[in-house]
């Protein structure tokens, strides 16, 4: 009897253990799609691209840590009213940076690489993914300097930090190839929240971005810049505000800039006060609101803060209550409606104007482009503004930037009216471009490092950990310990190539290595 039982138990056990044939099904995640599933793969490009656009422009937490607390402060449209945000004094908070860096490749670049390598994506979808990949990458190259680029998105390749020159050359090549390859045929649907797959507009976007990059490297590599810039101009940049790249938002993925302005961490900068106030710029009331709810002495005024205030909140003039917050368009109340500004016709006009100063063929007339740029920007932010008001602004030769309280000088001594000599024209173009690219700190900071315009105010105080000499400006964001720990030799090679690891190391386009 007992032997039978034992045998039976064993048999039962074996039988039971044999009941594992649905284990594969049990372990298939019902909550998440896989590209291994053909039905998912067939339509994935639209959804992957949509994510790479909406999230590539960063959600609030990441936007705050990467763009608002670094690029936007260094571009100086804004200053922080919170003394504990040390980055305005050039202290590097690695945790903030890692937060963004951890998302950039795995979430955004990998999505685009998957589209580009996909058997299921259409040719146009792949070209547009290449264009968008350049857009995302150029911000990071201009942020850190050398970064991994060529093998990005391939888990089988060891990480290699690529030189800025090589990256720039490839980005320009990608934009040229991809925009040329765009042709009638299947493209993205409404999940392309910028252009809904419109290949004509994507082509103009690519050309405008190519012109931006060509101008960016023009001091360092004039010949390459000229070749690429002229090719971009010949292929056709944006033609009107209706071409502007504006990414739609909704309540799930709202405009991150609008979202964070409610946190009372950022205010109008002294630079903005000097320029917008001095020129009596009609856009001032759109970009910023007059102080309200502050101390009586400040209420009703547009007031800006110096960047890099010391970590003491004592003085009433540097309290967030007594400085201008952003305007209603950029407030929390508008975050689900106000689209995210990616690239504009106005900037294209200023790029053309500068191209003409450089003597690039096909660029037209510098003054005309300058004035068109102002008109385009005014119409972009103030759709109902009268042409006469813009023309009066453009022709004004008396209003000049002011010297805000506590600032050493005005940002510029030039009026808006087109100057007679090329050096002043160059500064005017950059001043107006700076105003027009609001609130894009990535572009404002990069353009400043290239041109030195606008002549920004140095931080009031420098953190003890900063290696930027007093009176000078931060040139790049250093790599974090996390990046170093994961790829010690790669980071070391990049730093050797760039000539150092600090914040004062100039990027390639700005004259560095």
Partner 1 sequence: MKKLCLLWIMGVFVLGLQAQEKLTVTGKVTNATTKKPVESASVLVKGSMNGTTTDATGAFTISALPNATLTISGIGYGNMEVAVGGRSTIEIELAESAGQLEGVVVTALGLKRQKRDLGYATQQIGGEDLQIGRENNVANALAGRTAGVVINRSSAGPGSSTRISLRGERSIRGDNGPLIVIDGVPVDNSVRGSTGEFNGNDGGDAISNLNPDDIESMNILRGPNAAALYGARANNGVIMITTKKGRNQKGLGISFNNNTAIENPFYSVDMQNQYAQGSGGSYIATDENSWGPRITGQQIQNWKGDNYSASAQDHTADFFRTGLSTSNNIALSAGNEVTQVRFSYNNLNATGLVPNNSQNRHSFTLRSTSTFGKLNIDAKINYINQLIKNRPQGGEEAQNPYSNTLRMPTTVRSSDLENYADESGPLPRQSFFAPNSAIIGNPYWMANKLSPREERNRLIASAALNYKINNDIGITGRAGIDRYNDDNSRRSFAGTPTPFTNNSAAGNYNFERLLTEEFNAELFATYNKSLSDNFKLSGVVGTAVRKNRSEVASANAGGLDIPDLFNMTNGRAVTAGNGIFRREIQSVYGSAQLSWKDAIYLDLTGRNDWASTLPAANRSFFYPSASLSTIISDLVTMPKWWSYAKFRTSYAFVGKEAPEYQTIQTLLSSTGVAGTILRNRSQLINTNLKPEQTRSFEIGGEFRFAGSRIGLDVTYYKTNTFNQVIGVPLVLSSGFNEKIINAGKIQNNGIEVLLDIGVIRKTKFRWDMAINFSTFRSQVVELDDQVKFFTLGSTRVADVRANEGERLGNMYVNGFQRNTDGNVEIGANGLPIRTQRNVLAGNVFPDWNGGINNTLSLGNWSFDFLVDGRFGGVVASHTQAVLGGLGKLQETVTGREANSLIVPGVLAGTKTPNNITTNAQAYWQFVGGRGNPIGEAWVYDATNIRLRQATLSYKFPSSMFTKGFIQGVNVSVYGRNLFFFKNDAPFDPEVSLNTGLGGQGIDFYSLPTTRSLGINVNVNF
For the segment 342-401, give every residue that binds partner 1 (CB under 8 A): none
Q: Does 489 bind partner 1 (CB under 8 A)?
A: no
C-beta closer to partner 1: residue 151 or 424: 151
Q: Measured between alpha carbons, how far is 240 from 347 in angstroms, rounded to an integer?
A: 11
* Residue whose pair of structure tokens reads 């050309």 in the numeric block: 207
Q: How many CB atoms lie within 10 A of CB 491?
A: 21
C-beta closer to partner 1: residue 425 or 466: 466
C-beta closer to partner 1: residue 43 or 300: 43
CA distances from 409 to 322, 434, 455, 456, 462 (A): 21, 18, 10, 10, 19
C-beta closer to partner 1: residue 20 or 184: 20
Among 66, 109, 268, 286, binds partner 1 (CB under 8 A): 109
The set of residues, in sequence order, having a beta carbon less than 8 Å from that of 327 and lying 6+ positions away, is 285, 286, 287, 288, 289
DSSP assignment, residue 478? Answer: P
Print the binding letters for residues 73-92 with partner 1: x by CB under 8 A, - otherwise: ----------xxxx----x-
Q: Does 19 bind partner 1 (CB under 8 A)?
A: yes
Selected range binding partner 1 among 21-29, 131-139, 297-305, 497-505, rule: CB under 8 A: 21-29
* Residue whose pair of structure tokens reads 């007093």 in the numeric block: 470
Q: Does 497 bind partner 1 (CB under 8 A)?
A: no
Selected range binding partner 1 among 22-30, 130-138, 267-275, 412-420, rule: CB under 8 A: 22-30
Among 79, 206, 335, 351, binds partner 1 (CB under 8 A): 335
Q: Does 113 bind partner 1 (CB under 8 A)?
A: yes
Q: Does 39 bind partner 1 (CB under 8 A)?
A: no
C-beta closer to partner 1: residue 13 or 185: 13
Rounded (10°) angle between helices 345-357 and 222-235: 130
Q: How many CB atoms lie within 10 A of CB 241?
A: 16
Q: How many CB atoms lie within 10 A of CB 70?
A: 25
C-beta closer to partner 1: residue 153 or 512: 153
Selected range binding partner 1 among 156-164, 198-206, 269-277, 342-350, rule: CB under 8 A: 156-164
* Footprint (CB under 8 A) of partner 1, residues 46-65: 47-48, 50-52, 54-55
Strands 340-343 and 78-80, by their bridges, are unpaired
**Count of chain residues binding partner 1 (CB under 8 A):** 107
Q: Minimum CB separation from partner 1 for residue 152, in Å?
A: 5
Q: Measured between alpha carbons, how far is 83 from 139 in angstroms, rounded to an integer?
A: 27
Beta-bridged to residue 102, according to DSSP, are none
Q: Minimum CB separation from partner 1 for residue 131, in Å?
A: 19
Provide the token pair at 141.
């190259």
Among 42, 123, 158, 234, binds partner 1 (CB under 8 A): 158
Among 72, 114, 146, 221, binds partner 1 (CB under 8 A): 114
116 phi/psi in degrees, rounded to 5:
-60, -35
Q: Does 191 bind partner 1 (CB under 8 A)?
A: yes
Among 39, 223, 388, 464, binds partner 1 (CB under 8 A): 464
CA distances from 189 to 43, 160, 245, 334 (A): 10, 35, 16, 26
Among 176, 236, 262, 502, binds partner 1 (CB under 8 A): 262
Provide the token pair at 255.
């405009």
Q: Does 292 bind partner 1 (CB under 8 A)?
A: no
Provide the token pair at 163.
């030189």
Provide the token pair at 9.
């138990």
Q: Does 315 bind partner 1 (CB under 8 A)?
A: yes
Residues 278, 435 contacting (CB under 8 angstroms): no
C-beta closer to partner 1: residue 94 or 403: 94
3-state secondary structure (DSSP) of residue 447 = helix
Q: Measured between alpha carbons, how far is 446 from 144 in angstroms, rounded to an integer?
A: 11
């Amino acid at each position: 009897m007992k032997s039978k039982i034992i045998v039976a138990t064993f048999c039962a056990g074996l039988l039971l253990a044999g009941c594992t044939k649905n284990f594969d099904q049990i372990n298939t995640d019902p909550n998440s799609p896989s590209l291994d599933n053909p039905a998912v793969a067939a339509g994935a490009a639209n959804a992957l691209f949509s994510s790479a656009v909406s999230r590539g422009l960063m959600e609030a937490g990441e936007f705050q840590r990467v763009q608002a607390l670094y690029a936007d402060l260094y571009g100086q449209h804004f200053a922080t009213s919170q003394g504990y945000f040390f980055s305005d004094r050039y202290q590097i908070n690695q945790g903030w940076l890692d937060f963004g860096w951890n998302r950039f490749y795995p979430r955004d670049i990998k999505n685009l690489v998957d589209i580009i390598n996909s058997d299921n994506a259409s040719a146009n979808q792949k070209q547009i993914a290449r264009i968008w990949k350049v857009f995302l990458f150029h911000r990071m190259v201009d942020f850190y300097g050398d970064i991994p680029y060529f093998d990005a998105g391939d888990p089988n390749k060891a990480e290699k930090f690529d030189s800025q020159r090589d990256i720039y050359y490839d980005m320009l090549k990608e934009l040229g190839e991809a925009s040329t390859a765009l042709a009638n045929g299947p493209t993205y649907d409404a999940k392309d929240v910028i252009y809904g797959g419109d290949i004509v507009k994507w082509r103009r976007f690519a050309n405008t971005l190519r012109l931006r990059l060509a101008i960016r490297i023009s001091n360092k590599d004039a010949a390459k810049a000229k070749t690429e810039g002229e090719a971009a101009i010949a292929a056709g940049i944006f033609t009107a505000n209706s071409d502007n790249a504006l990414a739609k938002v909704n309540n799930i993925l709202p405009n991150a800039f609008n979202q964070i302005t409610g946190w009372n961490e950022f205010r109008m900068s002294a630079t903005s006060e000097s320029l917008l106030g001095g020129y009596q710029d009609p856009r001032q009331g759109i970009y910023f609101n007059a102080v309200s709810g502050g101390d009586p002495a400040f209420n009703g005024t547009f007031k800006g803060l110096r960047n890099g205030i010391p970590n003491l909140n004592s003085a009433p003039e540097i309290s967030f209550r007594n400085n201008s917050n952003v305007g209603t368009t950029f407030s929390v109340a508008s975050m689900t409606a106000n689209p995210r500004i990616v690239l504009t016709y106005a900037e294209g006009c200023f790029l053309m104007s500068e191209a003409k100063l450089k003597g690039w063929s096909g660029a037209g007339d510098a003054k005309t482009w300058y004035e068109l740029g102002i008109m385009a920007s005014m119409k972009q932010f103030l759709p109902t503004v009268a042409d006469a008001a813009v023309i009066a602004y453009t022709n004004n030769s008396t209003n000049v930037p002011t010297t805000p309280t506590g600032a050493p000088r005005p940002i510029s001594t030039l009026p808006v009216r087109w100057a007679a000599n090329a050096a002043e024209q160059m500064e005017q173009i950059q001043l107006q471009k700076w105003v027009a690219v609001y609130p894009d700190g990535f572009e404002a900071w990069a353009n400043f490092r290239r041109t030195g315009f606008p002549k920004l105010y140095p931080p009031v105080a420098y953190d003890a950990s900063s290696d930027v000499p007093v009176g000078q400006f931060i040139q790049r964001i250093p790599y974090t310990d996390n990046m170093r720990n994961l790829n010690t030799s790669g980071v070391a090679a990049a730093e050797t190539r760039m000539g150092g690891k600090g914040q004062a190391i100039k990027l390639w386009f700005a004259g560095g290595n």
